[in-house]
């Protein structure tokens, strides 16, 4: 397992091929820096798949949720952040909004999102897909690739530095 203390600046210096996200995210959660293998979801204003994902073992992975950039409701809140932390997810990156910011900040997990919004997501749309490549913030996120985040930004590599493939 790759250490979670790798700095994004060091990763970028050592790997000029790294994809670097546009600086659009706000930082939440008790871990300002986190890294792990990517698991992807594509949803829109329905967090049912997010709930299912964080209730499964995270095994140090980072859940990348493409919520279409919608800021009309939150896709992750305090209860799901607790589940993610308890189930071993290193972090969650949301192309959308979160809520219960104070509750998320109390959890030992890193979260990046575009904004906060007090409204919960719509329930029952049952829309979305898991495991697809998703594109936002100028980066293509693919299942199985590696993401590193800290206060300087979010970067993605095909594999964790030092992995033999």
Lowest-confidence range among 31-35, 123-127, 144-148? 123-127
CA distance 86 to 158: 27
Report pLDDT for 126: 66
132, 120 contact by CB (below 8 A):
no
Q: Which residues are CB-neighbours of 90 under 8 A, at least 6 positions away?
A: 4, 31, 34, 35, 36, 58, 60, 61, 62, 109, 110
Q: 76 pLDDT exceeds 80?
A: yes
41, 50 contact by CB (below 8 A):
yes
Residue 36 pairs in a beta bridge with 147
Mean pLDDT of 42-49: 95
Q: Which residues are CB-neighbours of 7 under 8 A, at least 6 positions away?
A: 33, 150, 152
Q: 122 pLDDT exceeds 60?
A: yes
Q: 26 pLDDT exceeds 60?
A: yes
CA distance 133 to 94: 14
CA distance 90 to 116: 20
CB atoms within 10 A of CB 32: 12
97, 10 contact by CB (below 8 A):
no
pLDDT band at 89 (very low <50, low <70, confident <90, very high): very high
The β-bridge relationship of strands 129-130 and 139-141 is unpaired
Report pLDDT for 125: 66
Q: 3 pLDDT exceeds 50?
A: no
Q: Which residues are CB-neighbours of 39 under 8 A, at least 6 positions away?
A: 53, 61, 62, 63, 64, 130, 131, 143
Report pLDDT for 57: 98
Mean pLDDT of 130-147: 98
Quote the percentage of the chain above a pLDDT of 70.
95
Report pLDDT for 140: 98
CATH of domain 25-157: 3.50.30.40
Q: Tell me the average pLDDT of the chain.
A: 94
């Amino acid at each position: 397992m790759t250490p979670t203390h790798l700095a994004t600046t060091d990763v970028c210096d050592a790997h000029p091929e790294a994809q670097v996200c546009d600086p659009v995210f706000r930082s939440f959660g008790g871990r300002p820096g986190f890294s792990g293998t990517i698991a992807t979801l594509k949803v829109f204003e329905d967090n049912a798949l997010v709930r299912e994902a964080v209730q499964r073992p995270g095994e140090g992975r980072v859940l990348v949720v493409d919520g279409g950039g919608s800021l009309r409701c939150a896709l992750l809140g305090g209860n799901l952040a607790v589940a993610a932390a308890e189930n071993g997810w290193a972090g969650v990156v949301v192309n959308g909004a979160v809520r219960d910011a104070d509750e998320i900040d109390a959890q030992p997990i890193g979260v990046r999102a575009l904004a906060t919004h007090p409204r919960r997501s719509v329930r029952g749309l049952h829309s979305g897909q898991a495991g697809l490549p998703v594109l936002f913030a100028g980066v293509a996120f693919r299942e199985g690739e590696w993401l590193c985040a800290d206060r300087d930004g979010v970067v993605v590599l095909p594999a964790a530095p030092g992995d033999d493939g």
